[in-house]
Amino acid sequence: MTDDNPEPPAGVEYRDIAGERRLATRGESVYGEPTDGEWRAWNPDRSKLGAMLESGMDTGLEGGETVLYLGAASGTTVSHVADFAGPTYAVEFAPRPTRDLLSVVDSRPRLFPLLKDARKPETYAHVVEADVDVIVQDVATRGQARVALENRRFLAAGGRLLLAIKARSEDVTRDPDAVFEDVLAELEVEREGEREGEREGEREGGYEVLETARLDEYHVDHLGVVARPR
Amino acid sequence: MTDTDGWFADATRDDEEGLAAAVREGSAADPRAWPREAVEAGFAADEDEYYDALHAATTAATRRTVAELERADDRQLVHAVRAMDDCRRTANELAERLAEWAGTVDTEAASGVEYARDLAASDRLDGEPGAEPITSLAERVVDLADEADDLREYVERQTPAVAPNLAALAGPVLAARLISLAGGLESLAKKPSGTVQVLGAEDALFAHLRGHASSPKHGIIYTHDAVRGTRAEDRGSASRALAGKLSIAARVDHYSGDLRPELEAELGERIEAIQARAEAEGDDGDTEAGTETRGESDD
């Protein structure tokens, strides 16, 4: 964390917890994180979004947003998001972590769990509302750019995509920088129109990448990305 | 529900079952301003009420789906791999019985499931007095062997979904057997790696604990190349290393479900180092001769 970091969103503060200055939100404890009263520390080592904030990336988050969170896993990060954001839709595909996510959801009335595949938005478009302010994406699957593009339909025109790209999920053997380059290129849809047979609307638009930062201090071979829909 | 309706379209507020089912099974090509539409349609008085209902429905739907998936998967796998082994063992036993019997009338009688297949497919005993039950038995043996093959395919398909890391490290069938011996993925994940190392070698282990025998080096993990491909005097080390990684894999599969491809690489490196001892000693290796079978009860 540096002093010229952008202000964290409302509801997220740097607080002295257990003798350290820590990013924190207010909510019921979830994963044994240290707390100070109702504030609980947000561990950037366990949260890519936490790492993006700690790294000083300009996420554009202000607090109170409507959020679609893809790859909620057991709810570590999404619990913090629900603490400061508005209605938060948490999509997770694996049953085991979702079981833990359910206990996070119990104390957060505006957090909505969905056991769905983020690669198939049509299976939850009847639940998730249109024009969300933010998509947070942290899915450990091949084709992370495609997931972002498929879910673009939920994002408001002025919204933000906050994406953590995991290089190893795309290809364990390749150089992470090369993987990141490919994923970013696909996000920006520079190859639009080249591929035949793409469904209408699926590829159009894409994203404009505003900022990227390696998150290696907290997460090896991950790239944080802030983007907005074109 | 049509393709353009929200999850709330076909049920009333008090129909919790119906709403949860709509969350689970519904779909739409594109999202709409559902909170506003729900209020306009009279489903909820205001957006707060809408979000309360949404929280209840998504929680109920997700809880039910999780329960169904979780309760089923590893239990199904345990049954499947046990049924597979039963079918294979029974087919082999019956094939031996068949060979004994068929040898009395069939001049080409051989042994094993292959002979049963041969006999079932041929018509050389047709019209032979008393041959009918023999051919019929051959057909049963073939059916059982086919069933075992089908079950093996099922296990190979299912294990990677239930325990991706364990399946990647052990191969799907050995992974399923370990889950079966432990009684489920969760109990496997909770076992210390020393226990995983000797799973399937319980007889030898208890003989050892009673003081009649030395400790078994390996149980069913003996069938893994990392153990079988290592010379006898280093198999203890190889089994220990393998069991350690398999335990980690089972824990990752049970507790997080992430895929950790690095586990496979780490295991490969470790086994390579152990197998290199043979070369370092100028030994040309005796991986076949003097096979250590104590504790191996995979039959």
CATH number for the domain harbouring residue B268: 1.10.246.90
Q: Using the beta-carbon criterion (under 8 Å), do A87 and B6 form an inter-chain contact?
A: no
Indicate the pLDDT class of residue B257, thresholds 50, 70 and 90: confident
pLDDT(A202) > 50: no
The mean pLDDT of A135-150, rounded to a whole number, is 94
Say which of A94, A95, A112 has its CB closest to residue B58.
A112
Kindly determine whether residue A122 and residue B32, on different chains, have CB atoms separated by under 8 Å.
no
**Does residue A70 sit in helix, strand or coil?**
strand
Same domain (yes/no): B203, B262: yes
In a domain, B1, yes or no: no
Terminal-to-terminal C-alpha distance of chain A: 30
Same domain as B247, residue B150:
no
Task: Name the minimum distance, in Å, from the CA of A24 to any CA of chain B.
Answer: 24
pLDDT at B278: 82
Mark whether B25 and B50 lie in a shared domain: yes
Position B209 scores a pLDDT of 77
Q: Is residue B241 part of a domain?
A: yes
Q: Are residues B197 and B156 in the same domain?
A: no
Of A96, A127, A130, the CB nearest to B70: A96
CB contact under 8 A, A153 and B61: no
What are B22-66's pLDDT values in tens digits? 999 999 999 999 999 999 999 999 999 999 999 999 999 999 998
Does residue B150 share a domain with residue B23? Answer: no
Cβ-defined contact of B65 to A74 (cutoff 8 Å): no
Distances (CA, A) of B42 to B17, B36, B212, B251, B292: 19, 10, 78, 48, 75
Burial A73-109 (b: 16+ CB within 10 A, else e): bbbbbbbbbbbbbebbbbbbbbbbbbbbbbebbeebb
Domain co-membership, B153 together with B213:
no
In a domain, B135, yes or no: yes
Number of domains in chain B: 3
All structural domains of chain A, each given as residue ranges with its CATH number in brackets, are 43-229 (3.40.50.150)
Cβ contact, residue pair B261, A168, below 8 Å: yes
Let me know whether B53 and B145 are in one domain: no
Quick check: is B5 in a domain?
Answer: no
Mean pLDDT of the region A159-165: 97
In a domain, B170, yes or no: yes
Direct distance between the N- and C-terminal alpha carbons of chain B, in angstroms, rounded to an integer = 53
Same structural domain, B103 and B208 = no
Per-residue burial over B52-90, b if 16 or more Cβ lie within 10 Å, else e, is ebbbbbbbbbbbbbbeebbeebbeebbebbeebbebbeb
Look at A94 and B66 and tell me if their CB atoms are within 8 Å.
no
Domain-ending residue, one of B71, B106, B134: B71
Do B175 and B47 belong together in one domain? no
Q: Which of B162, B183, B208 is the last residue of a domain?
A: B162
Question: What is the residue-averaged pLDDT of chain A?
Answer: 90
Q: How many CB atoms lie within 10 A of CB A196?
A: 5
Q: Is the pLDDT of residue B69 over 80?
A: no
Query: What pLDDT sits at residue B107?
Result: 87
Asked if the model's pLDDT at residue B1 lies above 50, the reply is no
Whether residue B203 is contained in a domain is answered as yes
Reply yes or no on whether the pLDDT at B291 is more than 60: no
Query: Based on the domain organization, do B43 and B145 belong to the same domain?
Result: no
Whether residue B144 sits in one domain with residue B133: yes
Could you give the strand order of the β-sheet that contains A35-36, starting from the edge strand earlier in sequence? Answer: A12-17, A20-26, A39-41, A35-36
Angle, CA of A184, A185 and A190, to the nearest 5°: 145
Contacts of A229 in chain B (CB under 8 A): none
**Distance, in angstroms, between B163 CA and closest chain A CA?**
11
Q: Is residue B130 included in any domain, yes or no?
A: yes
B282/B294 same-domain check: yes
Please give the share of chain B, as a percent, with pLDDT higher than 90: 60
Domain presence at residue B9: no
On whether any CB of chain A is under 8 Å from the CB of B71, the answer is no
Asked if residue A150 has pLDDT above 70, the reply is yes
**Among B162, B182, B207, residue at a domain's last position:** B162
- What residue numbers bound the domain in which B125 lies? 73-162
pTM of the entire predicted model? 0.61
